[in-house]
Chains A and B, each alone.
Chain A
Amino acid sequence: MADLALPETPAKTQTWRQGDVIFRWLSRGCAFVVPALIGGIFLALLIYSLPAIKKFGVGFLVSPEWNPVTQEFGAASSIFGTVVSTLIAMLLAVPLSLAIAFFLVELAPPAVSRVVGTLIELLAAIPSIIFGMWGLFVFAPFLQAHVQPWLASTLGFLPLFQGPPMGIGIMSAGIILAFMILPFICAIARDVFLLVPRTIRESAFGMGATTWEVMYKVMIPYGLVGLIGAVFLGLGRALGETMAITFVIGNSHRISASLFAAGNSIASTLANEFAEATEPMYVSSLIALGLVLFLITYLVQILAQVLLRRLYRSWSAGL
């Protein structure tokens, strides 16, 4: 055994070991920065929002009142706007991006697939303020002149499409959000579809499945875990989006059944009102709104993790 021992170079091994130890501690320290940051932000939000929490209690979450003059604050209208605009965005963006991704992977000629794929990635690189300006100056007037009057005349019996068409409002905010999260969902969905083995796809086609059946019954179930991850990534981004929403949502503290009406989101309220809020209760209520957004986003991520883990167990064929 002794013959087989490696020639010893004690000094060098020593420095290597030392390097390892330093590296281990360094990477450990870096990893701890993240939980420390999250914990710190959460604590700061909690401490600064305490006055508002003490004064309004749970009522803060359900009260639609937002009156800086009487110092009465409630988060309901902001939560409502955040949830509804995100919902519209998800309803539009998820099917659209799955369809685009499927087209790029399965149907498009390689040259088209490459060009369109790159363009979609470029869409993700457009700063959100550009979306906001485009939304305000181009898209909202288009909605006002062409889309909303048509919706009002055909589906106007629904409370969703009543009221004067202004262009700006919850509806345009939701649609702009859909444009913004589409590239994120689409890019991941494309990668997920690409990972479905050719043999599986081709055997489905070989059994006489239509293109629709291949997408619906083979590609989507196979990549479901990855697709859900993509959807939640888009959802997280939609919940916190600020600038673009502020431009087009109409910034009105009101809960309305109509999608044409102006509303607000938590992020847009913060962006609008923080700079000039001087009274302590006003500031505290705004920070409490921030805390609510923090918790919503956090819950969504936890939900995503739980869902993914469950699916991962039950779909052994999954990615």
Chain B
Amino acid sequence: MDQGDSQHMKKLIWLAMITVVTLALAAGAQAQSLTLNGAGASFPYPLYSQWAHKYHELTGAKINYQSIGSGGGIAQIKAKTVDFGASDEPLKVEDLDQAGLVQFPMVVGGVVPVVNVAGIAAGQIKFTGDLLAQIFMGKIAKWNDPAIKNLNPGLNLPDLNITIVHRADGSGTTWLFTHYLGLSSPEWQAKVGVGKSVKWPAPNSVGGKGNEGVASYVKKVAGAVGYVEYAYALQNQMSFAVLKNRAGNFVTPSIESFQAACANADWQNAPGYYIVLNDQPGDQSWPITGATYILVHKQQADAAKAKGVMKFFDWCYKHGAEMAQKLDYVPLPAKVVELVQATWAKEIKADGQPVWP
């Protein structure tokens, strides 16, 4: 009797296992047809992964995004190992054409200078681009230097060495920041230049890995000044600086001031959307702003997959704005989205047929 029961039990367990495996396989097969892979920039990763998660809940389509860095994203989309790439630094039109790629902006973010000087709270210290360039070149080495004092007469600036904190890893953030310094100071442009990593000229400088590395170094070292993505400055409650923009106003970094820079840029006349949002006109424009980009191939091999990618990004533009703002990213203005979608319709094709709409 006992043995019969256990035999029966065994059969049941087997049956249950087979059912589970079959169901899992079926589910796997279904999901497989809708899996899209992307790779690239780490800056938008928190947002892309949230978007992907929500989109999966709503539609069942699965989007894998690996934040391997912009360089890796560009390499992988060129090698066609992913369905879309992501980069913080826009590719030049020649490079796009050569690789047969289309590029479009997805969200906008801002880079903010942060300081660690006792008694200076967020939004209190003022910089101009040229002053910032001189500090990062090591020409201004103390916090009580007359150049800083003249701009900030109300602040009690100590006799303290300035320590520069920069990114140790190659990064789109560094590219944007050095691009701004180059715009503001011809000397920076000539001596240091613009790049995802540069030779930092100040003798007293340290490099942190990632935004979090820079943020923690700035917080640890008294007298430090560094630059991080806006979200990191907010989350770590750091003392960010206000900057003088092109219109001559001192502006505070905020979603609104990034959006102002983005809205005032001339997207219409920028082939390949190659536009750096640094130092844009507008009373409220934050001067160190940049878009992060998506890269896809013009000629798509798989029409269904291509359509899936476009649908996802369309959903992100139309329904993802609130999630973006919650994570301190700036959604693109509707005007720019229209331009981007016109580009999709014109340039992205599978078997000679437009993929979108």
A262 and B220 form a contact (CB under 8 A): no
Tell me which residues across on chain A come within 8 A of B209, comparing CB atoms. Answer: 246-247, 251, 271-272
- Within 8 Å by CB of B161, from A66, A164, A246, lies A164
| Residues of B within 8 A of A (CB-CB), count | 35
A276 and B169 form a contact (CB under 8 A): yes
Distance between B226 CB and nearest chain A CB, rounded to angstroms: 13
Q: How far is the CA of A32 from the CA of B199 in the complex (A)?
A: 44
A68 and B197 form a contact (CB under 8 A): yes
Tell me which residues across on chain A come within 8 A of B207, comparing CB atoms. Answer: 250-252, 262, 264, 272
Q: Give residues 177-234 of B contacting A (CB, 8 Å).
A: 192-200, 203-209, 213, 216-217, 220-221, 223
Q: How far is the CA of A70 from the CA of B190 in the complex (A)?
A: 11
17 A-B residue contacts at CB 8 Å? A68-B170, A68-B195, A68-B196, A68-B197, A69-B195, A69-B198, A140-B220, A163-B204, A166-B163, A168-B217, A252-B207, A253-B199, A253-B200, A262-B207, A275-B69, A276-B71, A276-B169
Distance between B311 CB and nearest chain A CB, rounded to angstroms: 30
The yes or no answer to A103 lying at the interface (CB within 8 A) is no
- Hey, which bits of chain B sit against chain A, CB under 8 A? 68-72, 74-75, 161, 163, 168-171, 192-200, 203-209, 213, 216-217, 220-221, 223
A276 and B196 form a contact (CB under 8 A): yes
Q: How far is the CA of A3 from the CA of B223 in the complex (A)?
A: 96
Q: How far is the CA of A66 from the CA of B213 in the complex (A)?
A: 21
- Hey, which bits of chain A sit against chain B, CB under 8 A? 65-70, 136-137, 140-141, 144, 163-164, 166-169, 246-247, 250-254, 262, 264, 268, 271-273, 275-278
Q: How far is the CA of A262 from the CA of B71 in the complex (A)?
A: 26
Please classify the interface of chain B as helix (H, G, I), strand (E, B), loop, or mixed, using the class held by over half of its residues: loop
B195 and A251 form a contact (CB under 8 A): no
Tell me which residues across on chain B come within 8 A of A254, comparing CB atoms. Answer: 203, 205
Distance between A307 CB and nearest chain B CB, rounded to angstroms: 36
Residue of A nearest to B68 (CB): A275
Chain A CB within 10 A, most for which of B195, B199, B207, B217: B207
Q: How far is the CA of A141 from the CA of B195 in the complex (A)?
A: 31
Residue of A nearest to B216 (CB): A136
Distance between B206 CB and nearest chain A CB, rounded to angstroms: 4
- Within 8 Å by CB of A69, from B161, B194, B220, lies B194
A276 and B197 form a contact (CB under 8 A): yes
Tell me which residues across on chain B come within 8 A of A163, comparing CB atoms. Answer: 204
B220 and A251 form a contact (CB under 8 A): no
